[in-house]
């Protein structure tokens, strides 16, 4: 596929999800400048063929008979990244099957046969399918004997502590982080006017969760619940915090900088899972350029969102 064709295909996919994008790109000016702008917002990690590849992957996910474990995911998804990093760090062989959430591939009949909830991630291990990221990480920790013990401790009390963080995660940190991103990025890109009140409420919810991590979950050690090495809870929650990388630099710093322990904990988890952490987050880092470029252009041209 040529570069021109691929960028057109990427643009059509973006325009489908962000209806005001067409007006924004048209307003950029010359054809050359529009082409450069489209290149900037082609936010697939493999910007020239990622979308086409994901479609092929979805249609052929049952073809590799030699690979028992298949992970259905999108690296734009924070729990998807946690599972991929976990498998890479622990040398678990798997086949990664991209489910492009920006093309709604999670709604396809083929994928719903694996995860009827139509969300990522999910796994297929032989004939056994499983969804929900916390359950998947627990399953993988118990299934594969080579997994380091610190990820999911065998001691009942230590394991219960890890479970307490996982149970807390979805109703607190996830709610706050997703609320901020939806209010400041995803709704404006879909043409929904920004609500200062919604943004303020989402940031308050997120700040409350970050305070709990700072003052309670990290009070006894460098990792959650006083552990000296990361557990599956650390990996899940850090990948959640990393989703805030999509925000502009000023907003990102304003939200996170007051929480010194949280910032260090993210870096410690990053170091403990190197080099896979940055590798798996590469798509997120590249996507930030596209999202912020669009939002900035709206601002500069006074396009109402």
Q: What's the pLDDT score for residue 35? A: 46
The region of weakest confidence among 11-15, 164-168, 214-218 is 11-15
Which of 45, 14, 77 has the alpha carbon at shortest distance from 286? 45
Q: What's the pLDDT score for residue 11? A: 40
- Mean pLDDT, rounded, for 84-112: 96
For residue 68, is pLDDT > 80? yes
Mean pLDDT score of the chain, rounded to an integer?
A: 83
Percentage of the residues of the chain whose pLDDT score is greater than 90: 67
Q: Helices 133-143 and 232-242, interaxial angle, to 10°?
A: 140
Instruction: Verify cis geometry, omega within 30 degrees of 0, for the bond prior to 275.
Output: yes
Q: State the Rg of the chain over Cα.
A: 20
Structure tokens at 287: 């996507």
CA angle 300-304-305, nearest 5°?
105
Domain ranges (residues) in the chain:
70-143, 153-303
pLDDT in tens, 123-150: 999 999 999 999 999 999 999 999 999 9
pLDDT in tens, 261-302: 999 999 999 999 999 999 999 999 998 887 777 766 655 654
Going from the C-alpha of 46 to that of each of 50, 51, 88, the distances in angstroms are 5, 8, 20
Q: Helices 173-181 and 196-212, interaxial angle, to 10°?
A: 150
Structure tokens at 250: 């000023």
Q: What's the pLDDT score for residue 21? A: 52
113 vs 35, more confident: 113
CA dist., res. 4 & res. 9, Å (int): 9
For residue 12, is pLDDT > 60? no
Q: Reduced to 3 DSSP states, what percent helix, strand and coil does the chain have, rounded to the nearest 5?
A: 65, 5, 30
DSSP characters over 239-253: HHHHGGGGS-HHHHH
- Mean pLDDT, rounded, for 91-105: 96
The region of weakest confidence among 41-50, 168-177, 232-241 is 41-50
CA dist., res. 28 & res. 10, Å (int): 18
Q: 70-143: CATH homologous superfamily?
A: Glutaredoxin (3.40.30.10)
Q: What's the pLDDT score for residue 55? A: 41
pLDDT in tens, 146-178: 999 999 999 999 999 999 999 999 999 999 999
For residue 194, is pLDDT > 70? yes
Q: What's the pLDDT score for residue 6? A: 32
Q: What's the pLDDT score for residue 296? A: 67
Query: Beta 69-73 vs 95-98: how paired, if at all?
Result: parallel
For residue 82, is pLDDT > 70? yes
Q: For the domain covering 153-303, report its CATH number.
A: 1.20.1050.10
- Taking the CA atoms of residue 205, residue 211, residue 216 and residue 220 in that order, the dihedral angle to the nearest 10 degrees is 150
Going from the C-alpha of 71 to that of each of 80, 122, 148, 232, the distances in angstroms are 9, 6, 20, 17
Q: What's the pLDDT score for residue 50? A: 40
DSSP characters over 124-147: EETTEEEESHHHHHHHHHHH-TTS
CA dist., res. 114 & res. 41, Å (int): 31
For residue 247, is pLDDT > 70? yes
Q: What's the pLDDT score for residue 77? A: 97
């Amino acid at each position: 596929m040529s570069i021109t064709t691929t960028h057109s295909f990427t643009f059509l996919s973006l325009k489908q999800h962000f209806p005001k994008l067409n007006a924004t790109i048209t307003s950029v000016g010359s054809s050359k400048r529009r082409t450069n702008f489209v290149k900037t917002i082609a936010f697939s990690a493999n910007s020239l063929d990622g979308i086409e590849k994901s479609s092929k992957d979805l249609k052929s996910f049952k073809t590799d008979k030699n690979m028992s474990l298949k992970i259905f995911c999108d690296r734009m998804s924070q729990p998807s990244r946690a599972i991929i990093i976990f498998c890479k760090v622990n040398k678990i062989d798997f086949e990664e099957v991209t489910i492009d959430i920006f093309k709604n591939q999670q709604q396809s009949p083929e994928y719903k046969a694996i995860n009827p909830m139509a969300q990522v991630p999910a796994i297929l291990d032989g004939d056994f399918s499983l969804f929900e990221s916390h359950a998947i990480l627990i399953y993988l920790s118990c299934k594969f004997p080579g997994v380091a013990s610190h990820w999911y401790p065998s001691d009942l009390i230590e394991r219960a502590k890890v479970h307490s963080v996982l149970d807390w995660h979805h109703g607190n940190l996830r709610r706050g982080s997703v609320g901020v991103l939806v209010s400041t990025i995803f709704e404006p890109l879909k043409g929904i006017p920004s609500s200062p009140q919604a943004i303020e409420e989402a940031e308050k919810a997120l700040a409350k969760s970050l305070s709990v991590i700072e003052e309670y979950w990290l009070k006894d050690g460098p990792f959650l619940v006083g552990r000296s090495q990361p557990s599956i809870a650390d990996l899940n929650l850090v990948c959640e915090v990393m989703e805030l990388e999509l925000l502009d630099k000023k907003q990102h710093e304003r939200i996170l900088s007051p929480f010194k322990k949280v910032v260090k904990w993210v870096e410690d988890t990053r170091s403990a899972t190197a080099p896979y952490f940055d590798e798996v987050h590469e798509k997120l880092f590249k996507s930030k350029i596209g999202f912020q470029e669009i939002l900035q252009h709206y601002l500069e041209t006074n396009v109402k969102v």
